Structure 1
Amino acid sequence: MARTNQHPMAPDDETPVFVISVAAQLAGMHAQTLRQYDRLGLVSPSRTQGGGRRYSGRDVSLLREVQRLSQEGVSLAGIQRILELEDQVEALQSRVKELVAEVEAARSTLEEARSGDRVFAAGPRGDVVAVRPGQRPKRTFASQALVVWRPGGR
């Protein structure tokens, strides 16, 4: 995630910095609710070496989303499925971006290859030789013909 106008050592949205009591307060929930969500796998915070939970800004946002969906009447199982599907959508969107970049790179490479149309001619012994567009092969006798071939029949 890009940082703008932040101190280089400032935590980003992914850095687990909040203990459970602070995260619960930020999310407007009871700490026991956060423990339940962790057990159910809805919001799984990082753990310290001693086993304490540490929540990131992203985790707190996710807790707020779970709370919002719960208040709208969605069951915890439904919320879990919604979160799973949102993760899948995010992963698929990321993959689509990767594939679009690969296709654009391949198109660019193909266009570069096509922009330098290759021209071939018959050499002095009847062999095929490549020449630059607009260039004639070295003539060894006057009756030599120039043959042009371009990929794709253009």
Structure 2
Amino acid sequence: MTAEDPLSRIDDDDYPAYTMGRAAELLGATPAFLRAIGEARLITPLRSEGGHRRYSRYQLKIAARARELVDQGMPVEAACRIVILEDQLEEARRINEEHRTAAGSHHAADA
């Protein structure tokens, strides 16, 4: 399969495959919810050549987490901030683990 083959994108979590309507349907949300989390800068949908919003699977996962918090009664802006902080914390943990693993392999080589 070549990079030009559309099927090569089928498993790409970052490929903007979903229209706003389809994304809202999958989330059980409204297009207004997707616009609100976009305005809160939680996710930035890509735009099609015609200017329509397109969402990736990764963005839908983030949106689903925000939707959980909103469903629990949290304002959209607060939910988005929490999801952003959770994402930053997860990234920091991943980086720390990489450093720990690298440091461990350096110490093993020194022994």
With normalisation by structure 1, the TM-score equals 0.60
Q: Secondary structure at the match of 1:74?
A: coil
Q: Report Cα offsets for 1:107-154 as digits up to 9, x if no partner.
A: 12211xxxxxxxxxxxxxxxxxxxxxxxxxxxxxxxxxxxxxxxxxxx
Counterpart position of 2:60:
60
User: In structure 2, what residue type is equivalent to 1:81?
Assistant: R
Residue 48 of structure 1: CA displacement?
Answer: 3.0
Query: How many percent of aligned residue pairs carry the same amino acid?
Result: 27
Equivalent residues in 2 for 1:26-65 (5 A)? Answer: 26-65=26-65
Greater Cα radius of gyration, structure 1 or 2 = 1
Matching residue's letter, 1:68: E
Give the corresponding residue for 1:135: none
Q: Alignment length, in residue pairs?
A: 105
CA distance in 2, matches of 1:9, 1:91: 25
Q: Which amino acid aligns with 2:51?
A: G
Q: Is the 8 A contact 2:24 2:34 kept in 1?
A: yes
Equivalent residue letter for 1:20? M
Is the partner of 1:54 in helix, strand or coil?
A: strand
Alpha-carbon RMSD: 1.9
TM-score (norm. length: structure 2): 0.79
8 Å CA contact 2:9–2:15 kept in 1: the answer is no
Distance in 1 between the 2:16 and 2:106 partners? 40
Q: How far does residue 44 in structure 1 lie from its aligned partner after superposition? A: 1.9
2:10 alignment partner in structure 1 = 10
**Residue type at the aligned position of 1:41:** R
The equivalent of 2:81 in structure 1 is: 81
Shift in Å, 1:8: 5.2
The aligned residue for residue 3 of structure 2 is: none
Contact residue 14 and residue 58 of structure 2 kept, 8 A: yes
Deviation at residue 47 of structure 1 after TM alignment: 2.5
Give unmatched runs, 5+ long, in structure 2: 1-6
Q: Of Structure 1 and Structure 2, which has the larger fraction of its residues in helix?
A: 2
| Structure 2 equivalent of residue 20 of structure 1 | 20
